[in-house]
Each structure stands twice: as C-alpha cells, then as structure tokens.
Structure 1
C-alpha cells in the first residue's frame, strides 16, 4: 500500500530541538510525495487545556505535572470495572525508554465527585523501569452506567483528574449510547483538532479509536501534504524500531494537550492498525521493515509491549503488562449493543504486491481460501460473537475497510467457476487496495454469508485506516447488488484526524478533483452511498433501539492550532433494514456529565 518516500529535496522546515511545534505554519494548499496509497494519504506542548489538576495540601500544579507528565486515561469499560492508566516520572532521569529511575509506589482513587469527597475505590500499584514507569489497573467494585472521577498520587502530589464511565449492566436496555469515533492521527501532519473538540463534549460514553494511534516514521518521512511539511517533529527523530523507540514515541503522543484532554474526559476502546508497529504489517513481516532493522518478530514484540504499557487496554485476560497480545475482544453495552473489536494485522497473510496501489490488482490470490486477514481463531470467535449475541446491535470495530471497492465488482456466480477453472482473476473483481478486506475476499465472503445464513440483524462495521469518509451497504455479492444480492450489514468509515487524504496528496482545492474519483467509484460500486476524500475530522456514533447514526464532523487546517469544527453529513441505519440512508441533522448534543 505504499508509494515512494518523499523526495530528499522536499522542503522541510528546520527543527528546533527545544520545541516540537514549527513556528511558521505553511498553508495546507502547499501541502511532497506521499508515503501512503492514494486513499490512505496514497510533544511536550504545554498544559492540558480542559483537564483540571488536583493537588494535595501545600503542593503545586507544577510539582504534580513533574511526576505525571503524560496525563491520565481510562479504557475498556465494563459494568463494574474500568481500566485506569497513568505514567509516573519519579526522577528527572526516569524518562520514557531510558530504563532509568527507581521503583515507585503510586496510589489511585476513584470517586463519585470531582473533589473526591466520596471515594468508592482506592489502592496502590508498584511500577518501575521494567514497565517504563507506567501504571495500569482494573478498578473494580463500581456501579454500572455511572460516571466516576479518578486520580493518582505520588509523594503527596496528585495527577490531573480523569473522568470515566462504566458500561450498562448486561441486562439493561439503555435508551441510547454515544461514541466518538477517530483514527489515523499523525503528529507530524498537524494538530489533533478532532481530539480537542471531542474532549469538549460531555455526552459521550466512550471513544472508539480504530487504529494508527501513532506513526512509526522518522522526521520528514511522512508529514503534511504534497510538500511533506513537518508541523511537529517526531521524537525520537529516527523511525521507531526498538522498544525504547516505541516507548519514547508513545510518550510524545501522550504529551499532546488535546490527546491528554480527551483521555482524561472519556474512556477509550481501542484497536491497532499497522503504524503502531510499521506500515502494512502482516503476520511475519511488513512493507516498512527491512533486514537492516533486525528481526521482524522482535520488532513487533517491542511494539506490542510498548502498546500494552502505554494504552488503557486489556491485551489479554488481565491488565498485567506481558499478559498476552490478543487484542480482539468483546465489550457489552447492555442489551442495546455488543462491540467486537478486531485485530487485522497479527494473523493476516502477506498482501499481494502484483501491482502497486492504486492500480486495480488482477492477482487471483485475493480470493484464495488459504489466505486470511483475520486468522482462523479470530474468524471463529467473531462468527460466534455475532451468532450468539443477544444485543440488538452488533458493532464491529474494524481497522481496515470491508466494503468491496472493485473495478468493477463482478458477479461471483460467473467469475467463481472461471477462477476455479483457470485462476486468472480474483473472483469478485479487481481491487485497488489489497491491504484491506478486498485482498482477502474468501474471509469477507465467509463472514457476510454467515450473517445471511443465520439471519443476524443490525450489524454495523465501524472502520478507520483509509483517511476518507465512506458509507456503504454490505451485500454478499456486490456484482449483483441491488437487483439480486441483498445487503446483510452496513459500514461507516471515519476519516483521519491528521493523516493525508487525496486532496492533500494532489494539492487540489477541497471538493474539486476528488469529486471525479468519488463519482467513478460510486458508479462502479453501487453499494457505496457516500464518499468524501477531502476532509479531516471525527465521527459521533449514536445508537438507539430504533437506529444507529454516524454524524461526520470536519475540522479546519491541520497546521492551525486553533482550527474549528463543523458538522458535515449524517448517515443512519434503521433497525432491521441492513441499509444506510442519509439523515437531515446530527443528533442533539447532551449537556453536562451523564
């Protein structure tokens, strides 16, 4: 999925080691040769805006921030427990990735009020250089569907205060559940406006982060737009390969004030895509890995360990670092919805490289039944979750796009026998992007046919990765849709927070050249109902018994620190229909803490 690196002559502003922010913003219209495919884009930065800092008697905010420089976070909410996270810096030398510093005992508290007058859970956690001084725990004994406040303390100094929310009881039927939806946040490509605007909302139950939480590249390798402008340089300056590199990069992202504010405001439900390790990762390698960087397995284990240490997520049955690296899991929101979060990198077969993206790829191996994107165990698990779920809605957290995008989509009843006989073409048509489900069509057909065969209703795939907004029906056979093949699910794809899209790559004004490409794709792929190659931003997914709705919000210039946000479009799926339709307005914002 990769185009050539930015040319060595691409202009990159000088980098000041003392500041992660370039002083002279460059217009986005001046946006270097891309490192991604056409559709995927082909930090210490001050105090934490809206996050309150609580301090103990005689202490100061400055002293507290010296110990808790990377904020606080929560994640994977369940009815009676939620993960809490922070990182303590016990001495100035104990910097992320350094392996230095003493062991430390950190206290934590959970309360029903911001002032911690009613503490309902508390304890201590020991940490040290072996886990990069990160703290992660399961706070238990909480009440379902309840907002809580939490904080940490070390040597009498308190961390910033975080707010979290538990999931509803398994038997409850909430009137609605609402999530922020984000993916693909490249620090070098701009400021995280999407995070800032979501942090201002008090009406979200959680944030669904669908991958590419951070990027692996060295400074200037993949930045903003056509000229590859570095808005904020990565640290370390080289590509992350070793454990200390991944730890340092996680630490840098966690010091972004907008990301800190969002983590402190809402619990996260996360999965990874490829850049948490390196570009176009598959089970035994990656496009952006070469022998000079050491063994790939060692690199991936380093990336997974750093992710386990630095993210508020269960990487196995417990929160213990090193407990495992199984990331696919189920989270329940009463009888209203189940969430199945997928891992589509760890177990997948190698991508086809017969022709480069975005040229339609005629490699017949795309429909080879021996190739997989999920792996056999994860596919069995997902089918079982979908079949046994008693929730009305089944939301699948999907790192890469599942809707067929083919040139053109071909009827499987015709191409299937031909492919079986002579093996000349992929059975469903020619994909432009073999890194998504289009490169593994046997897995996709198995999953969609499972939905059809078992009469599984109200399944919605919520997807990241591709730096553009898509809304699609999901037919079993796109080549005969809608006349002979019905839709069995829908897909809502959010755009990127900052990573380059088509407009950025070609340097065209918004809603100009992209319109031609969008129209061509929709003409050939009739199940694609909406497409926007030009915008950056975030989604708000609102789920009620009657429907799901995604509101798409667009943010301003990526290199403008104070850029705003506006609503763009909304699409919904009515219960029992398996099809998307446009909505006239976003759902009203609820005020205050729920």
Structure 2
C-alpha cells in the first residue's frame, strides 16, 4: 500500500483546498491548574478527571517519584499515592479518600475510579505523595438518570497538533466554568516526526520525541509532553474530559490492519504498534480502564441525553480508493458488527430527550455527482462508481456506505428522533442535516443532524495553501454546499472549539474561533450558532450563543 492508494487527512484537506483554488475556473478556572509551584517535583503533569457518572468520576494524575522517572523511561520506584475528593476547594469537607500504588509498569500514571458521590455536583480533588499535594482539580458528576435537568452543556474539541500552534481553545474552555464536561473527539495528539506535518518552516513549537512514534515509550513521551501544556493543564483541571480516539493517536488513517504511514517491513507489526499506542492512551487519558482495548461506551446525562461514543479505528476495514465503487461493498465496515449492533440497540432503547453520538469522522455524505440523481444509481451499477456520488474522503463514513445506510435506515424505520452526531477530524466546522439518501434531499426528510467542530490547531485550508483565511476557500465552500444541499454551513479556515447546549426543546452548537493559533494568548470570537429543535431533524441558524 502506498500513499496514493488511499486518502489521508492531509491529502483530504489539501484536495479541498485545491478544489477551492480551481473552482472559479471550473478565566478563573485556570487557577486550579496553576497552584502550588513548589509541588512540581512529584506532579509535573497536572491532574484530570473524566467519564462522569451520577455517583462518581474517574480521577487521573501522573507521579514523578525520582528525577529520572520521566515519561517512557521505565524508571522509578513503585509509589503510594493518596487521593481526596472534597465539597470545597480548601478540603474542609472531604467526602471520599483512598490510595493507589503506581509504578513504571503504568508509566507512573494514576487512576482512581471514585464512587459514592452526589449527582450533578461540583467536587474538588487532589493527590498526595510524601506529604506533598498535587494541584487541585475541579470536576462534576452527571445528573441522576431519572432527573430532568434544565440543560447540560459540553465543550467540544478535536485535532490538537502540538507543532501547528498553541492550544488556546483549551484555555477558553477552562474559563467556561458552567460546562458539565469537555468532549474530545479524537486526534488528541499526532504521531508524526517533527517537521512532517506541518512542514519544518511552519512548525510553531517542536514536539517530543522528534521521530515518528512507534514504541510504547514513544507514545508515552508524547502524551507526557501534551500534559505539560498550560492550556491543556487548565482544561483538564477544570472539567471532566470525555475522550475518544481517532487515527493520529495511532498513525494516519489507521484501520484494524495498518495505516497509511506504517510499513511492516521497516516499522514492525502493526498489531504491536497499535497495542503500544492503546496502552499509552489508557495510561495517560482520563478514560476508564474497563474500556481497555476500545473507547466505545455510553454515558447518560439525566433524562436529557444519552451520549454514545464510538471507536472507528479498531474494527474498520482498510479505506477504499477514492472514486472506487468498493465504498458500497456490504462486506466492508467502519464500526465492526458488534459495535454497530450495540449502537443501534442503544439508540432504539434510549428513553432520553436526545441521542448524541460522538463519531470521530463525519457521517454526513460529502460527494460530487456529475449526473442527475435519478441516473446516478444505474450508472454506478454499470460503471462501478459509488452509488452516492464521488466521495471526497473515503476515510469518513463516505467510504463505508453500507454501514451508514444500515444505521440511518434504523433511525428512519424505527422513527428514532432527536439523534445528533458530534464530529471532529476534518479540521473544518460544519452544520449538516443527515439525509438517508442525499441524492433525493430535500424531497425526503433527514433522519438526524450533525455538528462538526474544527481543529484546535491542525492545519486546514488556508494553512495548507498559505493564504489569508476566508479568501480562496470561499469558492470551495460554495461548491461543496451546491453539491451537498444538506450542508447548511461550512467554515474551512477557522480554528477553535464548540459549546454544545442541550435542553428538552433543542440542541444548539455555538462555534467559536481563535484569533491566531500561533499566539499563545489568542482571543476567542463567536462565529456562528446552529440548533436542531426537538422532533424536527433539521438545522436552523440561531441568533447567537446560548447565554
């Protein structure tokens, strides 16, 4: 397999950029992460929490017991770590406590799965080694399963490439103290060697290690580096983070048997590399170890929302060649049989107002058909081209149309309303309606909606073309929307984050952009807001962000 056999993330965005060029011719919360600098000897990588439940939350930290026990070193003694959870930041009212022993076997990372807490409640937590405390973290439990909360609110991010810029979106989310959690939709880090993406002359800050990640030590080192970023420290210390992985936690365009930038002849078995990447991920991310081996799982937020989180790398078949009719092959899968059945059953059983689906890659069709919709199907049969038009990126659900059709047909046939897909990966912001058959939209009603957030820093169209934002790309935006009428909004150039607010009446995504990803003090600006009203299955623009 060569780089030309499938379409990588860089290739996908570059292709859209090229299309855009040619078409005319054709706060306070950060304090929690910055306390007690004298405590940095043991706790050099901050604190974090994740996967909130009504009665508990997962707590995380990493201990450096000796100066030589740096991430990936395999050095340092086993260490006893105590933890406390309190109702107040001064720890006058401790409500839970315990201890964990950590060692080099887990890279001295620490996890405590705390239970017995009250629903929908903020708590403070810290760790202690030899009488020295970690920074204080702040977290929040989920609403009780039978509670009709007024709303739940999530920060939403994806695609944070260290070398491409500073993680200012994390800082702005840390200042949003009203959030219930932050949803990270993948590409928490990138596996490339230094200067590969972006090119050396555009690197804002070099990452570590400098070479491409291959071994367990490599992945541990890079995870460790990301947990020293001040904006990441602030976000993790202020909110529980709910994370899934995409490809770059492993390697570009990863699938169950390989990746674009993995050569078994020179880099060893793919299974060993993926196992190393997964081990480091579960060590360093605040994700429950009971999900080891996969990140698909389900969380509930009262009677308002079920959140179904997908793993679209562990079970998928190799990506098809762009333009190939193989994207319609029913034997090919992006989810794997067991996960797709689990998702369908969960969506059908859900008794909440909303069904949120965290998917690392876009489910909405983005295709270009040069013939009328009623002719595309018959011609596809004759010519062997994709039946839903020529897909721009076969790494998305566009490359696995049978799985998508089965899932969307399930929503349609069972009358499952209020399904909202939450997506990252593509380094652009989108607001989409999700039709069962895009070729007949809008004559046929959509079955769901989708909000896609742009990248924290990873390059998008203006970065690839090295042009001013919102200039050349505007032609590409117009062409994509003309060919895909279910795409209601598209921003190809901004970097930033989303804030998703869910109430019984509607689900709204507020999109925010940062002023300059190369500026560590970048400001944040509201870009657009879109919502879907209960029962509508449609996207409409909102006047402004939710107060």
Q: TM-score, normalised by structure 2?
A: 0.94
**Unaligned runs of at least 5 residues, structure 1:** 5-33, 43-47, 55-60, 318-323, 354-360, 589-594
Q: Partner of 1:180 in structure 2?
A: 155
Give the C-alpha shift of residue 412 in structure 1: 7.8
Partners in 1 of 2:241 and 2:33 — Cα distance?
19
Distance change >3 Å, CA 477–CA 186, structure 1 → 2: same
Give the C-alpha shift of residue 422 in structure 1: 4.0
Q: Partner of 1:313 in structure 2?
A: 287
Classify the secondary structure of the residue corresponding to 2:462. helix
Give the C-alpha shift of residue 219 in structure 1: 1.0
Give the C-alpha shift of residue 268 in structure 1: 0.5
Partners in 2 of 1:241 and 1:520 — Cα distance?
39
Which of 130, 135, 159 matches 2:134?
159
Q: Partner of 1:299 in structure 2?
A: 273
Q: Partner of 1:520 in structure 2?
A: 479
Deviations 1:511-558 (A, max 9, x none): 111110000010011100000001000000000001000000010111
Q: Partner of 2:26 in structure 1?
A: none
Partners in 2 of 1:411 and 1:160 — Cα distance?
61
Which of 424, 449, 460 matches 2:409?
449
Q: Partner of 1:582 in structure 2?
A: 541
Q: Partner of 1:352 in structure 2?
A: 320
Classify the secondary structure of the residue corresponding to 1:82. strand
Partners in 2 of 1:377 and 1:39 — Cα distance?
34
Deviations 1:327-381 (A, max 9, x none): 100000011000000011110010013xxxxxxx320100110001001000000
Distance change >3 Å, CA 337–CA 35, structure 1 → 2: closer
8 A Cα contact 2:33 2:233, kept in partner = no
Partners in 1 of 2:245 and 2:426 — Cα distance?
14
Which of 253, 258, 261 matches 1:285?
258
Give the C-alpha shift of residue 582 in structure 1: 0.3
Give the C-alpha shift of residue 559 in structure 1: 1.2
CA RMSD between the two structures:
2.0
Aligned pairs for 1:557-572 within 5 A: 557-572=516-531
Deviations 1:560-587 (A, max 9, x none): 1111111111000000000000001111
Is 1:108 matched with 2:83? yes
Is 1:218 matched with 2:193? yes
Partners in 2 of 1:487 and 1:569 — Cα distance?
22
8 A Cα contact 1:412 1:477, kept in partner = no
Deviations 1:403-456 (A, max 9, x none): 10011287887655654x546111111101011000001111111000000000
**Unaligned runs of at least 5 residues, structure 2:** 18-28
8 A Cα contact 2:428 2:455, kept in partner = yes
Partners in 2 of 1:111 and 1:410 — Cα distance?
63
Partners in 2 of 1:572 and 1:538 — Cα distance?
16
Aligned pairs for 1:90-129 within 5 A: 90-129=65-104
8 A Cα contact 1:35 1:41, kept in partner = no
Which of 533, 538, 542 matches 2:501?
542
Partners in 2 of 1:83 and 1:412 — Cα distance?
49
Which of 382, 394, 408 matches 2:355?
394
Distance change >3 Å, CA 67–CA 411, structure 1 → 2: farther
Aligned pairs for 1:327-346 within 5 A: 327-346=295-314
8 A Cα contact 1:3 1:35, kept in partner = no
Number of paired residues?
532
Classify the secondary structure of the residue corresponding to 1:143. coil
Deviations 1:189-215 (A, max 9, x none): 000010011111111000000000000
Partners in 1 of 2:160 and 2:85 — Cα distance?
30
8 A Cα contact 2:47 2:136, kept in partner = yes
Which of 232, 235, 240 matches 1:259?
232
Distance change >3 Å, CA 425–CA 247, structure 1 → 2: same
Q: Partner of 2:22 in structure 1?
A: none
8 A Cα contact 1:222 1:228, kept in partner = no
Q: Partner of 1:471 in structure 2?
A: 431
8 A Cα contact 1:315 1:327, kept in partner = no
Classify the secondary structure of the residue corresponding to 2:169. helix
Distance change >3 Å, CA 581–CA 328, structure 1 → 2: same
8 A Cα contact 1:279 1:288, kept in partner = yes
Which of 218, 228, 240 matches 2:213?
240
Classify the secondary structure of the residue corresponding to 2:40. helix
Classify the secondary structure of the residue corresponding to 2:298. strand
Is 1:197 matched with 2:172? yes
Q: Partner of 1:379 in structure 2?
A: 340
Q: Partner of 2:324 in structure 1?
A: 363
8 A Cα contact 1:40 1:468, kept in partner = no
Is 1:426 matched with 2:386? yes
